[in-house]
């Protein structure tokens, strides 16, 4: 799912669609909310590596991996056992998207690259909105895979 999300994000980004939701973050948040901080951290690390390696990649290899690993860890700490409301999922994914955008903006400003604040707001809203649909889907796929593994 990480690979599909990353390839889809890179493909849609190459077509200059805006605002583009952070599909990898949604998958990382799904893993963190479903299985806790360890799964969120590992999923974020792998998802960030995939984004680092796919074109256009990042200027410094490993920066996306570190960013997504921290986001996965923090989202995993927000895990609640049992059924979770959609409002909680959207709030957690939205907060993770805000954190990612803040870090990306700070890195861009430090590099002398201009930052589009309205584009960042659009990405956060698009990511939180897409989480309404994608997080339940990813959770059900993970649940089925877990049941098959233990069956």
Domain span including residue 7: 2-150
pLDDT tens digit at each of 151 positions of the chain: 888 888 888 888 888 888 889 999 999 999 999 889 999 999 999 999 999 998 887 778 889 999 999 999 999 999 988 777 888 999 999 999 999 999 999 988 988 889 999 999 999 999 999 998 888 887 787 778 778 877 6
- What region does 147 belong to: left with phi over 0, alpha with psi -120 to 50, or beta? alpha
Q: Do the Cβ atoms of 50 and 24 come closer than 8 Å?
A: yes
Q: Domain total for the chain?
A: 1
DSSP annotation of 21 reads P
CATH number for the domain spanning 144: value is: 1.10.1760
Distance CA 34, CA 41 (A): 12
């Amino acid at each position: 799912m990480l690979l599909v999300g990353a390839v889809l994000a890179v493909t849609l980004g190459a077509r200059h669609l805006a605002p583009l939701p952070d599909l990898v973050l949604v998958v990382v948040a799904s893993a963190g909310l479903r299985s806790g901080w360890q799964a969120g951290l590992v999923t974020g690390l792998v998802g960030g590596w995939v984004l680092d390696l796919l074109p256009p990649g990042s200027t410094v290899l490993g920066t996306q991996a570190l960013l997504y690993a921290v986001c996965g860890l923090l989202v995993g700490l927000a895990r609640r056992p049992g059924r979770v409301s959609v409002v909680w999922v959207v709030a957690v994914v939205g907060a993770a998207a805000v954190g990612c955008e803040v870090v990306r903006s700070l890195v861009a400003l430090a590099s002398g690259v201009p930052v589009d604040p309205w584009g960042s707001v659009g990405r956060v809203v698009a990511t939180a909105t897409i989480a309404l649909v994608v997080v339940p889907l990813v959770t059900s796929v993970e649940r089925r895979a877990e049941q098959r593994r233990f069956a």
